[in-house]
A and B are shown apart, each in its own frame.
Chain A
């Protein structure tokens, strides 16, 4: 069978591969090359070595600031989203009326797109801040916490659904044995329930980590980086380097390469963590 099928490369594999090369592979390689060049258009590039990479850090402080901003944002959201989601999942796996309806409602914000979400929360946050004669754009910390609230609102329901599925698979024999042995609620929670759902916790931690790091749409719609670039996250900083300063396309591309390396590092560490867990069990 393999032999016959092999001749059908052009029919089965080629169409998908052509699209993949046009949309990803060629632009990816080209982008990597251009990060070492100065250009305003992809055809007028001149080689400048590591110039763009140096400029990315030295031309202004925004890129480094956006890195710390993104890092802090990611730490805060990873912790808060997973804690809230896990608590809600614990609630929903108890014998409480209306669990299905609650699950449906909590998950819903996840389907709404980032741009729409950003504008929804801009109205809400500005409405709250109006009492103090401020807007979300008046201070960096307003933008930061606005983004945190938005991200929680969007992602808690998603992570909760994953935790609910995991909690439903915890062996009821073990839980029963624990309760017969007189184990209290929190003792059982920390010694049996949480270790049993550890793989799901790993998945959720990494998903929230990557989502936080790559956030763009919400950032653009909620604050667009204001005031003065201080609420700009990495992805938005790269975007504005590319498109709002002529002559800085190479610097933007260099930043994009650094960003890619950071995101890839997260993904690879996820692979290692999951692999080593599999070996253990």
Chain B
């Protein structure tokens, strides 16, 4: 009797989960479907399949790509994300090693300032930061990497430092006694041990930088548009939106994210979990 009941609850749960999965995927499918429809039919009836009257093939894609120079944006986004993530990894792992291994008031102060920066919302610094970046000529695709390194330093250093504290000192000391310089010790002994933490931090930063809107909009948005900035730009000045091109560009914007997710799914979920528990 209870066996039968358990089996039937199992199936009820399974069906419920299927419904939730459908709800999760549905919005993405609706956007995909509408990206092939003429823009006049999108706002009024988005849930109807394209038919001979509304289907326009790849027209939304070609016009959208032209309007926002999608591939240009794609490469800007790609460059900023890769360069920022690499720079954050390098600078913060060195900084974290230094402040955990050299004890003193200065390093303690640095540590608390970094932790403090994790709490402060972007709105607090957005105006002054973008003006300051402009003064220092950092308002270009190279300079923005420095800004990301600075704004991302808090969380990454905090996570690296927490990890380095758990590594025994003995290995580093042995290397130094054997005559290794601090540079050699760091790159040949410490860095290889940071590997798992590096993956976590790189994933969290990739998701942040790739999807970030305000920072690139305020600093380089007028000349170089990352994907989120380009998408929002489609809105135009007076609220008139070409919904056809919008649908097509949303699809193109989601493809890299979904590919990234399917390739690194295990690491991503693990990384996000670790980030949540630490942060």
Q: Which residues does A use to contact B, with CB under 8 Å?
A: 1-2, 4-6, 8-9, 11-13, 15-28, 30-31, 34, 41-42, 88, 91-92, 94-98, 102-116, 119-121, 123-124, 126-127, 130, 135, 153, 157-158, 161-162, 165, 203, 207, 214, 216-217, 220-221, 235, 238-239, 242, 249, 252-253, 256-257, 259-260, 263-264, 267
Known pairs A96-B10, A119-B231 / 19 extra A-B pairs, C-beta < 8 Å: A1-B172, A12-B97, A19-B91, A20-B154, A22-B132, A22-B136, A22-B146, A42-B127, A91-B16, A95-B10, A105-B24, A105-B25, A113-B228, A115-B213, A116-B254, A119-B250, A157-B24, A220-B232, A239-B123
Contact call B94/A13, Cβ cutoff below 8 A: yes
- Contact B125–A27 (Cβ < 8 Å): yes
Is the contact region of chain A dominated by helix, strand, or loop, or is it mixed? Answer: helix
With both beta carbons as reference points, the residue of chain A lying nearest to B134 in the complex is identified as A42
Q: What chain A residues lie within 8 Å of B25 (beta carbons)? A: 105
Q: Tell me if B95 and A16 are in contact (CB < 8 A).
A: yes
Contact of A260 among B124, B148, B247, B258 (CB under 8 A): B124
Contact in complex: A115, B232 (CB < 8 Å): yes
Q: Tell me what chain B mostly uses at the interface: helix, strand, loop, or mixed.
A: helix
B119 at the interface (CB under 8 A from A): yes
18 contacts between A and B (CB under 8 A): A1-B173, A11-B183, A12-B186, A17-B110, A20-B153, A21-B150, A23-B153, A27-B125, A41-B131, A102-B17, A114-B211, A116-B228, A123-B42, A127-B46, A161-B269, A203-B277, A217-B211, A221-B232
Please determine whether A263 and B146 come into contact, CB atoms closer than 8 angstroms: no
Task: With CB as the reference atom, state the residue of chain B lying closest to A158.
Answer: B272
Chain A residues, Cβ within 8 Å of B95 = 12-13, 15-17
User: How distant is the Cα of A221 from the Cα of B229 in the complex, in angstroms?
Assistant: 11
B176 touches A126 (CB 8 A): no
User: Which of A20, A25, A28, A42: most chain B CB closer than 10 A?
Assistant: A20
Contact indicator A9/B21 (Cβ below 8 Å):
no
| Cβ-defined contact, A94 with B13, below 8 A | yes
B-side contacts of A88, CB under 8 Å: 17, 20
Residue in A25, A26, A127 whose beta carbon sits within 8 Å of that of B45 in the complex? A127
Do A19 and B31 form a contact, CB below 8 Å, given A109-B24, A130-B43?
Answer: no
B47 CB-CB contact with A under 8 Å:
yes
Q: Which residues of B contact A15 (CB under 8 A)?
A: 91, 94-95
Query: Would A1 and B150 count as touching, CB distance under 8 A?
Result: no
- Does chain A have a CB within 8 A of B129? yes
Do A31 and B127 touch (CB < 8 A)? yes
Q: Are A19 and B150 in contact (CB under 8 A)?
A: yes
Q: How far is the CB of B266 from chain A (nearest CB, A)?
A: 10
B interface residues (Cβ-Cβ under 8 A, vs A) = 10, 13-14, 16-17, 20-21, 23-28, 30-31, 34, 42-47, 87, 91-92, 94-95, 97-99, 101-103, 107, 110, 113-114, 117, 119-129, 131-133, 136, 138, 146-151, 153-154, 157, 169, 172-173, 176, 182-183, 186, 207, 210-214, 227-228, 231-232, 243, 246-247, 250, 253-254, 257-258, 260-261, 265, 268-269, 272-273, 276-277
Of B44, B127, B147, B258, which one neighbours A23 at CB under 8 angstroms?
Answer: B147
- Bound: A102/B147 CA distance, A: 38
Which B residue sits closest to A264, measured CB to CB? B119
Report the nearest B residue to A25, measured CB to CB: B113
Question: Which of chain B's residues has its CB closest to A92's CB?
Answer: B17
A243 to B145, CA, bound (A): 24
Contact B173 A120 (CB under 8 A): no
Tell me the bound Cα distance from A18 to B91 in angstroms.
Answer: 10
Q: Which residues of B contact A105 (CB under 8 A)?
A: 21, 24-25
Q: Residues of A contacting B23 with CB < 8 Å?
A: 153
Query: Which residues from A are CB-within-8-Å of B125?
Result: 23-24, 27-28, 31
Question: Complex: how many Å from CA A120 to CA B26?
Answer: 11
Complex contacts, B92 vs chain A, CB 8 Å:
16
Q: A12 is contacted by which of B94, B258, B260 (Cβ under 8 Å)?
A: B94
Contact pick for A113, options B91, B103, B133, B210, CB 8 Å = B210
Chain B residues with CB below 8 A from A26, complex form: 128, 132
* Complex contact A42–B150 (CB within 8 A): no
Q: With the chains together, A8 CA to B98 CA distance in Å?
A: 8
- Interchain CA distance A18-B260 in the complex, whole Å: 32
Q: How far is the CB of A90 from chain B (nearest CB, A)?
A: 9
Taking the closest CB of chain A, its distance from the CB of B156, in whole angstroms, is 9
